[in-house]
Structure 1
Amino acid sequence: MNVKNGTFLLIFVVLLAVTACGCMEQTGAEQVQDTTNTTMEITDMLGRDLTVPEEITSVYATSPPSTILVYMLAPEKVAGWNFVNTFDHTLMNDEYLNLPVLGGWFGTQTGNYETIITIHPDIVIEGFTTDGQIDDAIVRRQESFGNIPVVAIDDSIIFVEESDPTIEYVGELLDCEEQATDFIEYRAGILDEINSKVSDISDDEKVRVYYAEGPTGLKTEPSGSQHSQVIDICGGINVANCSLTPGSGMTPVSIEQVMEWNPEVILTSNAKFYNSVYSDPLWENIDAVKDERVYLAPQNPYCWIDRPQGPHLIIGTVWTATVLYPDLFEDMDMEQTTSDFYSQFLHYDLTDEELESLLDP
């Protein structure tokens, strides 16, 4: 190689290196700028300051109430389910029905961090039902999920209040304020209507109700339990004079106790119990059975009155009110109410056959 050619080659290499450095610097600047523009600072419902993507498109929630809330408000952002419904799960469009089931932390369930991380959610939503204190679970979640922000929200599903700050918060977080507002207003309207009709019922005129859980019907929830709150809301008297089992509930009782309580109405979410109660001699002398007032709650895609807990239970309050006081709520068109609720908040248009099967399982 002569000197002249070597000089030109040297100049070419230097220019190439300078150009590459400039491109790298430009790319780095653009990356920093993009990162700045695509994140935002938020405060979760436990007061923790977090940095999250400005546009959240994928959410994994770790418990049923928060998962169902995300589905009701922004179904396209649900990255996966954390539970498999033990009942039918068919009244849902395929794009949601076929999402992966990856577990979570609720009841006795223990999730797997690595499995959830593989679907790359923008954020993880962790529900809490404590007194608002940051507990070890939240800290563990954030440490285990690494760079994926863990947003804490209040998971309590309590219908004594018409407003719900959790619905509003998630609506703002996921940029679906309109849907959140619509649901808050719908929920308030339902509670208003029910309360206006049952608040004046005297105690001696209130229907006596037993909530039968489990395949034998011999587990239940007393008044005050989150699992039986629809009875309290709808003006029924919960006859279960027993202890409240913390957490998952389901206090065992005897058939003798149920006979002593002698409810006028029995509600259940267990199909096996419902299908056997009218032929079981143990139950034949109870008024609710003699009068054929045992009712199986609709449960597709989620049970309407309990397990999984979630904001969808508001439709269960309508159903419970019409079951307990059919004359008082005779103007409530349950078929139209159900169709509208499923279309607007469960994102599924029921056929006539599906509607009939749902309301008369």
Structure 2
Amino acid sequence: MHSPPQLTPATSAPPRPDVSLRESIRPAPPAVGFGARYRLRPPLLLAAGCLAATIASAEPAAVSIVDGVGRTLRVPASIERVYATSPVGAVMLYTLSPQKMVGWNYKLGQAERHFILPAARELPALGGWFGESAMGNRESILVARPDVILSVGQHDRTAIEFAERLQGQIGIPVFVASGGLSDTAATYELVGKLLGVPERAAALADYARRTLSQARAAAEAIPRREQVRVYYAEGMRGLQTDTRGSWHTELLDLLGVENVADVPTTSGFGRVSVSLDQVIAWKPDVVLACPEKLNANGSWMPEWLQDPAWREVPGVARGRVYLIPGAPFNWFDRPPSPARLLGLKWLLWVLYPERADFDMVAETREFYRLFYGYDLGEAEARSILEASQPKFVAKP
């Protein structure tokens, strides 16, 4: 018989990490430009020439660096201003070096702003290339004057062609790197080298490697008879999903969890539409619900769970519906960011509580402090975890 995940008794706060995000953040250098052009008279030409030579010699040197797909780029030797093309890259950049951000690529909601450092939460939304039909605003990006643009996510031929096209259009180097779960540590190290923050990158990469190793070991130890079957519910009606092999369900694949969605795989944005009859026929043991509409405090409750028809789904009928935490960033997907490292631990905790040999409250607090620079209190951590296990499901 399944035992629900339990929160451990109150404990003392875990030790602070050696590399602090909050202590490292500082405002990005202000934009500098000339507001008017000046016509120089002949007597001033010599002086102007000397001045131009002095400015040229003072300009930052450029260096060559190889990105995550083998492209050689010329970038400033000291990078201080960075833009990311998608939320995947924005989350990685925020956790790595928020003081270098020139803006977000989407507007932060109240639930996100609550956990974001003050200097970063007020940054503008510049748009980006993500979602089903979104197009970035090249003019806004140029005004923000980034030294480099990060394209972190899928790193296939399409991503490379996009990077080359964008770089050619706006004249700013576009650095491509993998956003894959298994590549998280290597991408942190690669981007950390680019941005000149190798120590910070090493701390996050070490956490990533340790977490992935522990998760794989835990998954291998689970007997086949104990493995659960999961339906991943997305969309406002819970009737969109992603299949095995999708980068939106990498956590399930890594843990060897059976994803019941038996529909053709889609690439890119994903989200295959299905019917409730299909979900019922798949007979999932567990339903994982993707957060679509968060309250200001980060909590949420999917309205579709109030439909009694969902009680025909075994996981719902048995009360095994888990709401994926979504603040400040989704722990499971959308975006499939480094927050998934904490999501791996949470998933083990809710799916196999008897095998979760760690304190989920302490793990949550450590992650928020290390990756977000947020000092999450024990009560707040417990509130987040308790909200992921709704006591109310569909009415009979």
TM-score norm. by structure 2 comes to 0.79
Question: Which digits, 9 at most, give the CA deviation of each residue in 1:32-81, with x for residues without a partner?
Answer: 3212x533232333443333222111101111111111111111111100
Shift of the 187–150 alpha-carbon distance from structure 1 to 2, 3 Å rule, reads: same
Judge which range, 131-140 or 238-247, deviates more.
Answer: 131-140
Shift of the 56–309 alpha-carbon distance from structure 1 to 2, 3 Å rule, reads: same
Matching residue's letter, 1:282: A
Matching residue's letter, 2:385: L
Q: CA RMSD in A?
A: 2.5
Q: Counterparts of 2:253 and 2:65 in 1: how far apart (Å)?
A: 36
The equivalent of 1:123 in structure 2 is 148
Q: Counterparts of 1:50 and 1:256 in 2: how far apart (Å)?
A: 51
Q: Counterparts of 1:134 and 1:287 in 2: how far apart (Å)?
A: 40
Matches within 5 A, 1:165-180: 165-180=186-201
Q: Counterparts of 1:133 and 1:313 in 2: how far apart (Å)?
A: 24
Judge which range, 293-302 or 201-210, deviates more.
Answer: 201-210
Q: Counterparts of 1:128 and 1:319 in 2: how far apart (Å)?
A: 23
Q: Counterparts of 1:240 and 1:128 in 2: how far apart (Å)?
A: 23
Matches within 5 A, 1:72-87: 72-84=95-107
Q: Counterparts of 2:140 and 2:52 in 1: how far apart (Å)?
A: 31
The equivalent of 2:371 in structure 1 is 345
The equivalent of 1:141 in structure 2 is 166
Q: Are 1:57 and 2:80 matched, yes or no?
A: yes
Flag structure 1 segments of 5+ consecutive residues without an equivalent.
1-16
Q: Counterparts of 1:140 and 1:180 in 2: how far apart (Å)?
A: 29
Matching residue's letter, 1:95: A
The equivalent of 2:54 in structure 1 is 30
User: Secondary structure, in 3 states, of the residue corresponding to 1:355?
Assistant: helix
Matches within 5 A, 1:233-312: 233-270=254-291, 274-312=301-339
Match of 2:93 among 67, 70, 77: 70
User: How many aligned residue pairs are there?
Assistant: 339
Q: Counterparts of 2:66 and 2:317 in 1: how far apart (Å)?
A: 55
C-alpha contact 1:87 1:302 (8 A) present in aligned 2: no
Q: Counterparts of 1:189 and 1:287 in 2: how far apart (Å)?
A: 34
Shift of the 266–210 alpha-carbon distance from structure 1 to 2, 3 Å rule, reads: same
Q: Counterparts of 1:282 and 1:43 in 2: how far apart (Å)?
A: 53
Shift of the 87–320 alpha-carbon distance from structure 1 to 2, 3 Å rule, reads: farther
Matching residue's letter, 2:65: I
C-alpha contact 2:107 2:125 (8 A) present in aligned 1: yes
Residue 155 of structure 1: how far off its partner (Å):
3.6
Q: Are 1:40 and 2:63 matched, yes or no?
A: yes
Q: Are 1:358 and 2:380 matched, yes or no?
A: no
Matching residue's letter, 2:149: V
The equivalent of 1:209 in structure 2 is 230
Q: Counterparts of 1:86 and 1:214 in 2: how far apart (Å)?
A: 18
C-alpha contact 1:342 1:349 (8 A) present in aligned 2: yes
Residue 254 of structure 1: how far off its partner (Å):
1.4
Residue 87 of structure 1: how far off its partner (Å):
7.8
Shift of the 296–87 alpha-carbon distance from structure 1 to 2, 3 Å rule, reads: farther
Higher relative contact order (CA 8 A, sep 6+): 2
TM-score norm. by structure 1 comes to 0.86
Q: Counterparts of 1:183 and 1:231 in 2: how far apart (Å)?
A: 22
C-alpha contact 1:128 1:152 (8 A) present in aligned 2: no
Residue 270 of structure 1: how far off its partner (Å):
3.0
Residue 286 of structure 1: how far off its partner (Å):
2.1
Matches within 5 A, 1:102-113: 102-107=126-131, 108-113=133-138
Shift of the 207–218 alpha-carbon distance from structure 1 to 2, 3 Å rule, reads: same
C-alpha contact 1:268 1:274 (8 A) present in aligned 2: no
Residue 23 of structure 1: how far off its partner (Å):
4.4
User: Secondary structure, in 3 states, of the residue corresponding to 1:51?
Assistant: strand
Matching residue's letter, 2:57: Q
The equivalent of 2:125 in structure 1 is 101
Flag structure 2 segments of 5+ consecutive residues without an equivalent.
1-40, 294-299, 388-396
Q: Counterparts of 2:260 and 2:110 in 1: how far apart (Å)?
A: 27
Judge which range, 121-130 or 52-61, deviates more.
Answer: 121-130
C-alpha contact 1:46 1:132 (8 A) present in aligned 2: no
Q: Counterparts of 1:111 and 1:30 in 2: how far apart (Å)?
A: 36
Judge which range, 18-27 or 116-125, deviates more.
Answer: 18-27
The equivalent of 1:92 in structure 2 is 116
Question: Which digits, 9 at most, give the CA deviation of each residue in 1:75-119, with x for residues without a partner?
Answer: 111110012356821211221111100111123210111111112
Matches within 5 A, 1:210-225: 210-225=231-246
Question: Which digits, 9 at most, give the CA deviation of each residue in 1:190-248, with x for residues without a partner?
Answer: 11212212203233320111111112111111211111121122232111111112211
